[in-house]
Every structure is written in structure tokens, then in C-alpha cells.
Amino acid sequence: MARKQTKVSRRMLFTWFMLTGLIFLFTPQTLTSKFQLAFVHVFRWPLSIGADLALTAQTRQTLTDAPGRSETQYLNYIASLEETLDQQRRKFAKLYKLYNTYVWEGTDFALADVIPATVGGARNELTISCRKTNGLVKDHFVLGDECIIGTISDVFPQISKARVALVTDPASKIRVKIAGLAGLKYIMKGSGNNSAKVEMVKNEVKVGQNVFALKKPGFLDAPMIVGKVSECKRNQKYPALWDLTVVPACDVGQLEDVAVIIMNPQK
Amino acid sequence: MRWLRFAVLILAVTVLQKGLLARWSSKPDLLIILLVFFSIYCNTSEAIISSFTIGFAADLVGSPMPMGPQMISFGLFGTLLAYLNRVIAIKRMPFQALAIFVTSVLTGFLTHLLAYITGEPIPSNIYIVVLVTSVYSSIVGPFLFLPIAWWMRIKVNRYRR
């Protein structure tokens, strides 16, 4: 029997796909972001390889003492084990340092690995892989290289992942103070170009001054450095005021792990 | 059209875009290059399907933007390009580069406009990001057409009306 072939017109094809797109567009992001997270979760291995390769290329490392093919599998095993041990030591040292800081007394930290960061494009975010997602909630501050890099925007406990909106993300707004301007508090808004803006500042600020995230009850107990002033220019509308451009205090693109600050953890 | 090869190619390019290229601030958009390739070298029905599929893939790795804007903009401009290709053949490399640049700019702006409708903020550097990505894509794109055609077993001189 001849196989019956159904033919769909181009117009119908276009309409169906367009409708699908519109359904995705107007479905709440909490539902559709699960597709995005599932993709990252399924392909985390090739994604992390890609990220590692990129990091290696950027740091221009030379492998002068790379092991030859004649190395036995035991040597490889030992090397991997030593590296794992070293990594655990570094994590322990990091946690020890955080737990033994006076201002962090009673605070818990969740160490998390970074899955490729998108920092240079229009939006700035990180996806982090965290074994301990208990107690992790939206708006928790995230530390990277001893400075605030952003806040948790979504938590996915089923797949042990969370999303971090970086301070440079256009959706990010953080209360800050600027070194040298005592008593004055401002709102720092992300501008998407791996930088953030503080607008309508009353005084001129020197380039390189530190910018601190202000304490936020339940989320941050002490001011912490968030960035440095990279540009200070007059506001176009009100020339008596100044607009500051702030860059993160660390290179977010190079981060491999971060720590989430969990104030008042559940025991 | 060899759809299995198409699926493998899209998957590989999507992972490459999100993984290897994610850490570079200025980079070509490989998915746009694929979009233009399939719009030029496939028939219109195949171009419509591939455009929307590539848009869906771009949405999957487009977080924190919501899903949908890229699927719509890729689908719309991919389809328009396929119809345009029936009238004006885009065979020479400079024209292909121009097609990639224009498609990239248009999809970039429509994507952010649609995202804005759903409540996403529009970044201040949107023009620079879209233009730089478009320029990179248009420079790299035409050179990638040959390996893509080889993988898809498509003769690049073939032209269907």
C-alpha cells in the first residue's frame, strides 16, 4: 500500500511555529527557565570542557612538562587524586577563612562551582552547581574572590543548581556606599557591559575608589566590597551631580567557584 | 534535508556557543550563521523549520532572557531571508556576509524588543553588543558555509527556486 504523505503548506508551518514561539514567550519564566536549566544540566560535561579550554587559551599556559604517553595509569590516577586533594584543601582553606572572620560569625556558606559565565553580553549571569541547596533562597549574596559579585536569582534544588544575577546585570539593583563619601547611600544599577552605574552622586569621586554593598538585614550583616569606580563624569541632565561607572572588584569571567552567604542558617 | 545531521550540528553548535565562546565578551553568533546558511541553501519549507529550530536552540542557551523571543525573531527573519533568496540569489561571499550582518542586527533588536515586552530590562549597551556580534558573525560566517555544507551534504552551488 502506498504510504500516504501529508503535506503541510508553508503558511501553516510558519503559523504553527510562530504560535509555539508566542506560547513560550508568554509562559511564566519560572516554567520556561526549567528548559534552559535542563539543557545546562544535561550538557554540563561538554559545556565545562569548553569553558576550561577557553580559560586555558585565555591564560596562555604552556605545558612544558606534560606527561608522555608512556606514563602508567597509576601515575595518572595519583596525579588526579593529588589534584582533587589540593582542590579540597583550597576549599577548606577558603571556608576556614570565611568562618573565622568576626563579621561572619553564625553565618553559613555554600561553596558552588561555576558553570560558564556570560559576562560580556547584554545580560550578566552565572549558573552555579551547588551540592548544598538547603537554605538557599532568592536574593542571597554571592561572594567570589572575597567580594560581592551578585545575588541568587533562581534556585533549582531538584538539579542542585542556582542562577546568580551579577551586580552588572541590568536587572540588578544594590544599595551601596562609596569610599570617601561618608554617610551617603546610593543605588547601584547594572548596565550589562560588565559594569554598573551609580547616578546622581553629589561629589566628584576619584577613579579607583572602592564601592561597598550596604548591609541588608537577613542577607548581609556587614558592608562588603562590590567594585571600584572606573569613571566619573557629570550627569547630562543635572551638571552639578556626577554619574559613576563601577566595575566588579574581581574578574568574574575567571571565577571557578563562588560562596553563597547564608545568614541565620537553619540548624 | 538530512535532519539527523541537522540535529547533531545544531546541538554541537549550541553547546559550543554556550561553552567555549561564552567566556569571550566579543564573539560571533554561530547560530545566526547557521540560520542564514539554511535560509540560503534549503528550500523554503526546510528553511522555515530550521529557522524556528535554531531560534529554539538559541533560546535554550539564552538565559537569563526568557524563552520565545529568539525563536520568533530567528523564525521570522529566517523565513523572510528564504523568500528573499528566491528573488535575489545570495551566492557570493560579500553578499552572504551582508546577509549575516543584516539578519544578525534585525534578530538582535527584535529579540530584545520582545524580551522587553515580557518585562525584561533593556541593557544600556544593547547597540554595541548587537553590532559587534553582527560584525564578527559576518566576518566569520561565509568561511563556515563550506564546512557546514560538507557536513550537511549540501552542494553550495545548488540553488532552488
A46-71: per-residue pLDDT in tens?
777 666 665 555 554 444 444 554 55
Total domain count, chain A: 3
Q: With respect to residue B157, please indicate whether it lies within any of the assigned structural domains.
A: no
A&B contacts, CB < 8 Å = 154
Both A15 and A94 in one domain: the answer is yes
Write down the pLDDT at residue B39. 93
Residue-wise burial string across B104-121, b where 16 or more C-beta atoms lie within 10 A, e elsewhere: bbbbbebbbebbeebebb
On whether both A163 and A182 belong to a single domain, the answer is no
Q: Within 13 A of A203's CA, how many CA atoms are on the CB side?
A: 13
Whether B131 is in a domain gets the answer yes
Structural domain contains residue B159: no
Determine whether the interchain pair A169/B71 forms a contact, defined as Cβ–Cβ distance below 8 Å: no
How far apart CA A189 and CA A171 sit, in angstroms, is 8
Distance CA A232, CA B72 (A): 40
Same domain, A27 and A44: yes
Q: Is residue A217 part of a domain?
A: yes
Question: Does A4 map to a domain?
Answer: no
CB B109 within 8 A of CB B70: no
pLDDT, position A22? 92
Q: How many domains does chain B have?
A: 1
What's the pLDDT tens digit per position in A245-254? 999 888 887 7
Domain CATH number, residue A211: 2.40.10.350
| pLDDT band with cut points at 50, 70 and 90 for residue A6 | low
Q: Do A36 and B44 touch (CB under 8 A)?
A: no
Same-domain check for residues A122 and A188:
no
Structure ipTM = 0.87
CATH of the domain at A153: 2.40.10.340
> Does residue A145 sit in the same domain as residue A157?
yes
CATH number of the domain to which B109 belongs: 1.10.1760
- Judgement on whether residues A80 and A16 belong to the same structural domain of the protein: yes
Domain boundary among A77, A101, A125: A101
Predicted pLDDT of residue A72 = 62
Give the pLDDT of residue B158: 45
Residue A53 has a pLDDT of 60
Q: What is the pLDDT of residues B82-139, one digit of tens each?
A: 999 988 888 889 999 999 999 999 999 999 899 888 887 777 778 888 899 999 999 9
User: Which pLDDT score, from 0 to 100, does residue A18 have?
Assistant: 92
Average pLDDT on A1-6 reads 55
Q: Is residue B7 one of the residues assigned to a domain?
A: yes
Indicate whether A244 and A185 sit together in one domain.
Answer: yes
Looking from the CA of A260 toward its CB, the CA atoms found within 13 Å total 34
Contact A43 B15 (CB under 8 A): yes
CA dist A18 → A11, B37, B82 (Å)? 10, 21, 16
Segments forming the whole domain that contains residue B104 = 3-152
Report the pLDDT averaged over residues B49-64. Answer: 89
Structural domain that includes position A44? 10-101
Q: pTM of this prediction?
A: 0.59
Does some domain include residue A141? yes
Question: Percent of chain B, pLDDT > 70?
Answer: 96
Is B42 a domain residue? Answer: yes
Do A21 and A97 fall into the same domain? yes
Q: Which of B77, B124, B137 to mutate to probe the A interface, most A CBs <10 Å? A: B124
**Are A129 and A258 found together in one domain?**
yes
* pLDDT of residue A194 exceeding 50: yes
Identify whether A106 is part of a domain.
Answer: no
Q: Are residues A67 and A131 in the same domain?
A: no
What are the chain B neighbours of A121 within 8 Å (beta carbons)? 25, 129
